[in-house]
A = this chain, B = another copy of it.
């Protein structure tokens, strides 16, 4: 999977994995990896800046904690983030229908 493909789709995916429960960055990486069947292996240089961006934008809120001597920054969805996630899901459906309307992926 090419890198650019992710552009603009990563944000809702991050919001989606923290929706059911707050997670720290490393756990978010693992959740994305698991939920994508091992396909979505984000480099830290992508994830951490994305988290800060989402927090600055008000979609996530973070809190520091220490577990077993390791510092963690745990992110949870804000109400604005929940709205953004819902909008993102809707946009995905539109995007998908656009691409498939043009690509007709069945006709290989």
Contact = CB atoms under 8 A, between A and B. Distances in A.
Q: Number of copies of this chain in the oligomer?
A: 2
Contact of A102 (B17, B96, B97, B108): B17
Interface of A: 1-9, 12-13, 16-17, 32, 35-37, 39-40, 86, 88-99, 101-105, 108
A18 to B, nearest CB: 11
A99 B60 CA distance: 20
Nearest 7 CB-CB pairs, A to B? A4-B8, A7-B7, A5-B8, A4-B7, A13-B102, A36-B98, A35-B102
A95 B36 CA distance: 9
Task: Output the residue of A5, A40, A88, A96 with the most chain B CB within 10 A.
Answer: A5
Given A5-B8, A5-B91, A37 B97 contact: yes
